[in-house]
Each structure stands twice: as C-alpha cells, then as structure tokens.
Amino acid sequence: MKYLWISVICCVILTEISRCQAANLTFPSNFSIGAATASYQIEGAWNTSDKGENVWDWFTHNYPDSIADGSNGDVACDSYNQYEVDVALLKNMGVDFYRFSISWSRVLPNGFANEVSEDGIQYYKNLSQLLIANDIEPVVTLYHWDHPEILEELGGWTNELMVTWYADYARIIFEELGPYVKRFITINEPTSYCLNGYNATRFAPAKILENMGHYICIHNTLKAHATAYHIYDDEFRATQNGEVGLVAYCRGWVSGDNVTDETIEQYFLFNCGWVVHPIFAGDYPEIMKTRIANISALEGYPFSRLPEFSDDWVEYINGTADFFGLNYYTSRLPVFDSDEDLGIYTIDSGVIENVNSSWSVGASDWLYVVPEGLGNLLQMIRDTYSNPPVWIMENGYSDEGESDDYDRISYYYDHLSVVLSAINDDGCNIEGYTIWSLLDNFEWADGYTKLFGVHQVDFDSSNRTRSTKLSATWWQDVLSTRELQAVPTANSTRR
C-alpha cells in the first residue's frame, strides 16, 4: 500500500514536470498572435483623393536630409492600393489579428471634424471588412505619429487644444469603425514622438523646445488618450463592447556592474512609468515629480519643467486602459550618473543607459538583442500595476532586408521563449503578441535602410512586389502548430 502511494505521487510529479516542459513551448489556447504596421510607414498615396498633409509628409518633403536615404512615405509599400495583397499575406501566415493604424489626415483632411473624407473612411472600412471575412481580427491604432500638419502649425502636442481635436477624431473613428473593430489603441509610443519630435529633430515635427517640449507633449497626449477612453466608455462601449488602451514603448534591463534595485526602479519609472503610471497608478511617478522639480529649481525656473496634473485630471486619467499595451525591442544596463556626486545634473532621470559590448545588435544601432530584459520588464509590470492583462503590440528585429533572415527568427524565438516562461513560470497575464512588422517599410529617420519585415517589398518596382522571407515561413509553422518551432539553420531550410 505504502509503495502504491509513493508511486502514485511520483507519477503525479513526473507528469507535472513533463507537462510543464511541454507547456513551455506551447502557447495557451486563448493566446492571440498578430502582425503590425503603421499608416505612414506602409500606405503611400500621400496625396490621393482628398487626403491632407501630415507632419511626416511635411518633414520628409522639407527636410529630406533628415532621413538616412533622403526618402519618404509618398509611395512606401503602396498599401493604400494593395491592402488586398497584404490581407492575403496575413491569411497565409495564419495570424489571429492585424494591427494597422489610421492616417488622421486621410480621414480628416483639414485636421478637424468639420469635414470627414468619405474615401478615407471607406478605405479603413474595406480593410477591416476584408480582414473579418478572412477570420483576422482588425486591431486599430488611432494615432501612430502622423497628425495633420495644420494641427502642428497650431502647436501640435504642445497645444492643450490638441486634446479636443484628437477626441473629435477618436469619436469619428469609434463611430465608423467600432462596428468592426473590438480592440482600439488610442496612441502608439508617446515617448517616441515626444522625445524625438519635441525635444530633438530626429522625428517630425523636429522641434527642440527648451528641454520641456517632451514633457508638455506627454502631458497633453495623456489627456487626449483619457478623453478618448471616456468617450468610448460613455458613448460606444455599451453597444460595441470592445477594449481600448494605449501602447507604451518600454526598454528592459538586465543586471550588471553598478546596476542595483534602485537604479532599475528609477529607470523603469522614468522610461516607462512616465506614460503608464498616470494610467495604471494615478499621476506621474513621485520620483519624477521630485527630481524634475528640484533640477528645474537649480536651473532657475520658477516652475517644474514637468507639468502638474490637477486632482481632477489625475482621477480622470487613472484607470483609462482595458489592457497594458507594450512595445518591446531592447534593454540597457541602468546605472546612476556619477556626475550628480559633483552636483551636476545633466539627465532628469539621473540614470545612464550602459550597454554590454557582448550583446549582438540589429541593423538599427539602438537595437541590442536582450531577450532576458523583456522577462524582467514583464515581472516589473506585473508587480507594479497588479498584473494587468498585457498585449505585446510590437516586437521585432531589423536587418538589411535579406530574405534568409535567420537572425530575425532567432530574435523571435528567444523573445517568445521569454514570453512563454513569463506566462507559465512567473504568472504574468500576457494575452497577446504582435510581430513588427508584416512588411519591410519606411523606418522613419532610417528611411528604407533598416528593415523589420517578415515579408520583403521591392521598393524599386512600381507595384512594390512582396515576397516571403524565411521568417514568414517560420511564423506560419508556429501559428499552425501553436508551438514554438526550432530556429532553422542554413542546411535545414525548407522553402
């Protein structure tokens, strides 16, 4: 009898172990996997029909030298004309959803809601309906950096009126596309355009604004996001029953020399918490408020460069997300800036981003490959914001466009392993994962020199012919088996 029990217990333990191991390669049955793009990066048709000019049209046309190859998104992948081809590629891969973004100036040529372009709206309806007909869920980003140029001439994200202009636009999109779309992303990566466009000249609108443009930009962005969320809640949720959230760009970290719990927390709060804390915890992180107020005072300002939310706004913004949207690409080694010991405050965060020289790097100079950092970030999100449902809305790797893209497949493999272990071992509530990108496309200031697609686009051919890279074939296997597949090597390759 005693032996029987021992063997029963052993059996249970062994079965659990093997199940765990198998589970670590298998995606949970309700886990969603999709692919993403963004309007300016793929659509082209920059002045087709009544489309208005947007800030990226303006920037690339007036400052071509700011783009690595002097290029622009005038034609890009021509997806405005070729969305049916794109949907066929998605169908062939077997994705659950397609994340695309709406070009604000295609829908509202004047920027404002006084005139809605029928052609513009129709394009996004056609795309959404075709996706649904193919069993692919449309996931829509309302704003992926391409706001109408006229709004920028009125101050863009530094003008608080942008909150109303954005909200009017969001209402139109919810109304027109809400019957087809059940997952909306209000804004993509606020820190990317606020830091690179309102405190640097790398991105449109390329304004350097007294080391505070980025703070004002995020401030108004968060108000705009929250206003759109409440509009959805008040006017559309009852009938449409979808979900609304924002997508943040957060870098991860790993341990190393002088990386401490303190440097990690400070890094996370400045890098990611700046945008997500007001939404998931109420208001900016305390450490941001104190540090920036102190440094501003040392600089002689009679106010903090970080604007303050009134209590009403804190309350209005808090809780405005049905999921945590995360774009993850890379990590750093966060260490304290030793200049501060000498009383010199050069960085508001006080944290320097070191890198490990052994890390491999993609074609983009910022894209160090550090999958472990994603795991650390996911655990921090779990612990800081009470384990919210997380949707990884972008993850991907750049090269120079080769079609046998082994390094891209390795990148996906390593990051998906981390995601699976975060779900299975760490109890992180991750519901979805998104491939960046479906297509090679206009990579902002890098033009067409750094490519992220799982499909190639021939940018020299007038019809922008698409072809399959090895990574798209690998994804097809992953998606049909719902299991992580081994990374192919040159002689194992099947095509």
> SS3 for 140?
strand
Q: Does 71 bind ligand GBH (CB under 6 A)?
A: no
Q: Which is nearer to ligand GBH, 76 or 222 (CB)?
A: 76
Rounded CA gap, 446 and 367, in Å? 13
Rounded CA gap, 206 and 152, in Å? 11
Q: Where do the DSSP E strands lie in 264-361?
A: 324-327, 331-336, 351-354
Radius of gyration of the chain (CA): 23
The nearest distance, CB 189 to ligand GBH, in angstroms, is 5
Encoded tokens for 479: 């998606």
| Interactions with ligand GBH, residue window 380-439 (CB under 6 A) | 394, 436
Rounded CA gap, 246 and 226, in Å? 9
Q: Does 192 bind ligand GBH (CB under 6 A)?
A: yes
Q: Answer yes or no: 243 catalytic.
A: no
**Residues counted in the chain:** 495
Q: Where do the DSSP E strands lie in 43-131?
A: 97-101
Q: Does 366 bind ligand GBH (CB under 6 A)?
A: yes
Q: Which is nearer to ligand GBH, 194 or 423 (CB)?
A: 194
HSE, side-chain direction, 13 A CA sphere, residue 55: 24
Q: Does 56 bind ligand GBH (CB under 6 A)?
A: no
Q: Which is nearer to ligand GBH, 220 or 327 (CB)?
A: 327
Q: Does 328 bind ligand GBH (CB under 6 A)?
A: no
Q: Does 38 bind ligand GBH (CB under 6 A)?
A: yes
Q: Which is nearer to ligand GBH, 40 or 316 (CB)?
A: 40
The nearest distance, CB 372 to ligand GBH, in angstroms, is 19
Q: Does 188 bind ligand GBH (CB under 6 A)?
A: yes
Q: How far is CA 84 from CA 81, 91, 133, 176, 475, in A?
A: 8, 10, 12, 20, 20
* Residue in this structure with the two tokens 């009126």, named with its chain if needed: 161
Q: Answer yes or no: 189 catalytic.
A: yes
Say which of 189, 315, 443, 483 is annotated catalytic.
189
Q: Which is nearer to ligand GBH, 303 or 366 (CB)?
A: 366
Ramachandran area for residue 417 (φ above 0: left; ψ -120 to 50: alpha; else beta): alpha
What's the farthest any 2 CA atoms get from each other in the chain?
A: 85
Q: Does 152 bind ligand GBH (CB under 6 A)?
A: no
Q: Are 371 and 410 in contact (CB under 8 A)?
A: no
Identify the bridge partners of residue 361 per DSSP, sorted by sequence position.
368
Q: How far is CA 20 from CA 11, 14, 15, 17, 486, in A?
A: 14, 10, 8, 5, 18
Using CB under 6 A as the criterion, what x/- string covers residues 450-489 for binding ligand GBH? --x-------------------------------------
Q: Does 149 bind ligand GBH (CB under 6 A)?
A: no
Q: Which of 443, 453, 470, 474 binds ligand GBH (CB under 6 A)?
A: 443
User: Interacting stretch for ligand GBH, rule CB under 6 A, among 87-95, 112-120, 189-197, 401-409?
Assistant: 189-197
The nearest distance, CB 40 to ligand GBH, in angstroms, is 9
Q: Does 86 bind ligand GBH (CB under 6 A)?
A: no
Q: Does 249 bind ligand GBH (CB under 6 A)?
A: yes
**Residue ranges binding ligand GBH (CB under 6 A):** 38, 41, 188-189, 192, 196, 249, 327, 329, 366, 394, 436, 443, 452
Active site residues: 189, 394
